[in-house]
Structures are given as structure tokens and as C-alpha cells.
């Protein structure tokens, strides 16, 4: 048995496994779509806004609604300390809005 035969055999097996994984994903797609539709129906009926992935703190349980635009969470010295806080994105619009919402003539007045 040549070494290349063995190694190429392993590589072929690995490629086949990867193809099998892709096939598995394809087969699972339809039932998974149905499952997610049921979840979406629950979200609609209850009126949910967030994933319940991080239940350790208010701003991680509901990152979409949390007071992310305020500078401090609970106290001026309260730096980010919950582990899942590190996964949270910064607000989509950034922290400042960059405008005062006044017209120029109002500012002049």
C-alpha cells in the first residue's frame, strides 16, 4: 500500500464527510423552516423583541431595547462587566446623533 493511497483515501473520506454535512443541512432545512415559523408565530403572539440567549443582565437580555444610548448602565463607575456584554454590538447609529434637531433659525434665536 503506497502512502499516497492511504492519505488520499483519508482526504477523500474527509471531503465526503463535508459533502455529507452539506447534504444533512439541506435535508434538515424544511423541518427547520417549519420550526422557526412556529417560533416566529410565538414571537408575534407574545410580542417579543429579543433572543433569550443572555439572561444575566437587563441590557444583555434585551440588547435591542436596552439603554445602550445612555452613558452609564447602573452607576457612573459601572464599567461593562457581564461576560456576554462583550458580544453586544455598539448601537447601530453610533452614540451621538450629530444633530440638535433645531432648524438654523431656531438656533440663531
Partner 1 sequence: MTSWLRRQRALAEYTLAALARRRIKNTGLLLIYAVVIFVVASATLFATALRKEAEVVLAGAPELIVQNLVMGRHDMISGEVIAEIDGIRGVAGIKGRLWGYFYDRLNGANYTLMVPLDPDMAPPEGQAIIGESLPRVRELPWETAPLFLSRYPGDLVRFDIAERLSSESALVSTDLILLNEADFRAFFELPENVYTDIALSIRNPREIDTIVEKIGRLLPNARLVTRDEIARTYQKLFSWREGIMVLLAGASVLAFVIFASEKASGLSAEETREIGILKAIGWDTGDVIAMKLWEGGLISFSAFLLGTVLAYLHVFAFDAGLFASVLKGWSVIYPDFALTPGIDGLQLTALFFLTVLPYVAATIVPIWRAATADPDQVMR
Q: What is the SS3 assignment for 6?
A: helix
Q: Please give the residues from 25 up to 84 whose contact with partner 1 meets the rule CB under 8 A.
A: 25, 28-29, 32-33, 35-58, 60-61, 63-67, 69-70, 82-84
* CA pair distance 81, 88, nearest whole angstrom: 12
* CA pair distance 37, 44, nearest whole angstrom: 10
Closer to partner 1 by CB, 55 or 78: give it.
55
Closer to partner 1 by CB, 58 or 108: give it.
58
Q: Does 95 bind partner 1 (CB under 8 A)?
A: no
Q: Residues near 80 by Cβ (< 8 Å), separated by ≥ 6?
A: 73, 86
Binding site for partner 1 (CB under 8 A): 2-4, 7, 10-11, 14-15, 17-18, 21-22, 24-25, 28-29, 32-33, 35-58, 60-61, 63-67, 69-70, 82-84, 86-89, 92
Amino acid at each position: 500500500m503506497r502512502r499516497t493511497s492511504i492519505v488520499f483515501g483519508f482526504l477523500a473520506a474527509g471531503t465526503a464527510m463535508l459533502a455529507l454535512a452539506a447534504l444533512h443541512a439541506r435535508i434538515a432545512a424544511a423541518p427547520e423552516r417549519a420550526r422557526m415559523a412556529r417560533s416566529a408565530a410565538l414571537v408575534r403572539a407574545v410580542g417579543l423583541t429579543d433572543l433569550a440567549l443572555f439572561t444575566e443582565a437587563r441590557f444583555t437580555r434585551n440588547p435591542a431595547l436596552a439603554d445602550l444610548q445612555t452613558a452609564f448602565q447602573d452607576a457612573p463607575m459601572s464599567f461593562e462587566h457581564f461576560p456576554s456584554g462583550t458580544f453586544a454590538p455598539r448601537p447601530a447609529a453610533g452614540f451621538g446623533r450629530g444633530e440638535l434637531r433645531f432648524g438654523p433659525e431656531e438656533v440663531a434665536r
